Structure 1
């Protein structure tokens, strides 16, 4: 039996998002980036245990060896679109779209603090096993590839990351420890998970009932967070929350789309939709103005391109559903792997690409094999996570916490 019509086309969008982030790192980063901290960098930072340390420096595959990079170069130079950013936008949008469902039961009656805590805890525990397994794998790769000591700071960072405390507390460098560099367990993609956890927190406690009014209030709160370190209280705490704010705006836009999905299209809905979109885009524009950011999240073309993808699959689902059903079993299986794949594809995938390319010397085949291997590892993580989530002990544990 297939899922509902809404879930069907969203799985296709998840798969597109997975493909885009894979392209961004395996092709674009692997071709252009000079270094990715704690993942791949210049040879002097690589463990001496490897006899041929040069293969772990970036770029992995010189652009003269393949032409795949020309696609994103064309999109970026032509319409200022980076595929990895579109992939993240799509997944954040879908997250906002779907998380309204988990909050439906709070739309009636009184919502007390116990119910709010139950909802927040339930959301975190749903993906905690995946986070834990990917963290173990990432830590193992860091210890093998890099000269990282298994000391108090390492294990403290591990605990902070595994318990999501790092979402709300600055990294351990706030202790002003000499010669200490914070551990980046997921090679620069940890921010993605932090945004999700932070959004679940504010959406649970700021507006426990999803409504258009609640979405607007939350947008105002995000603007407050973004401005707070600039106008009143500049420190590591407020800077961290200000960083999350624009990305939470994308998730909120997805929540708004879910709330208004069944409403008839009219002038009021159009005006409200444009207002929500403007508020989301305004968060990134204000962030760029305040922090001199240079990525393409603030570009209108990023969201128009994402919107076209969403509408395309929605129309297929509405008018040509049988086309989507043909590939749905495979698409559904791969779409489930987005989170473990995202958390592993940089810190595990790029070293794999480096090793495979060093052996094969065939760029396209090396990229395909590397992505497939990370998908296999992600599938194993997903299966183990499911075993944990469905176990009697874990269910008892989650019931006790929530």
Structure 2
């Protein structure tokens, strides 16, 4: 792709999307089936990001029933599931029962129920109610925690998020508290995501990247994700991301990895094999092949969790974070030994740094990049 970030331009602290978040490749052939589920329990949100791809669904404030969610988790456990990502949709910490005990979940919170099953769990939040999470559970039990802060400029924050005036300072305070809470532990892998916008130069200037670098080093943040706002002009988006990457490479990030996410477009004529190992669930019994289809009225409906032989064609998503992993899986489907694909993942870690979520919650056979020991 023209203007895309070339893999040989990446540094130790900037990983290519060859290792997407939480995807298990090991066992793809020997024990196929859904290994990870991504759950959007509610469309309700305490902010109003107009650029969010679920903004229309969010108006309804619909949510999964506790009984529906429990059935999904129980079925997932029985079929050998490994990893769960809880995100939006809306703001997951608004979902009743996530961090408070309920009768439906045998007197436990949903998170504790997942921990008891042995699932590795990641949570993506806007951070406003992060203090509630910290008070309710030991956050070290989470595999990863990512806060969508998007910008460190307070005025830009309110413009982007349509949030209440106290939200920005609340989020910064909660991020600091969470960092202190997990001090001395390798989990959760703690990250922040930032929006890059071509037209407004949001987070695409040298000064803004320096400010982010200073902030995350001070708080010992594990990874920083830069991703572009949704746009139809992919070439300009790529130029902005290349600029961010150039600025970020000039800085010392200590133990923080910066991650510049390429603006990929999937190839709609190809089969998506990622659906064999990842499944997303929303309210009203909606089952999605990929998180980027949330909010899309033409989502591809599936009955129950996808089976091995079921794949999705002609994905309508304009942007796909799983392009690289799908390319690897396509190779496997076309006869390339799975071991070779796994080695590709290992080489990516060794050459370009650790995975943004460090812990590899769904990839126990990958080499742990710091100790050299396996995570299993």
What TM-score results when the alignment is normalised by the length of structure 2? 0.32
What TM-score results when the alignment is normalised by the length of structure 1? 0.30
Higher helix share: 1
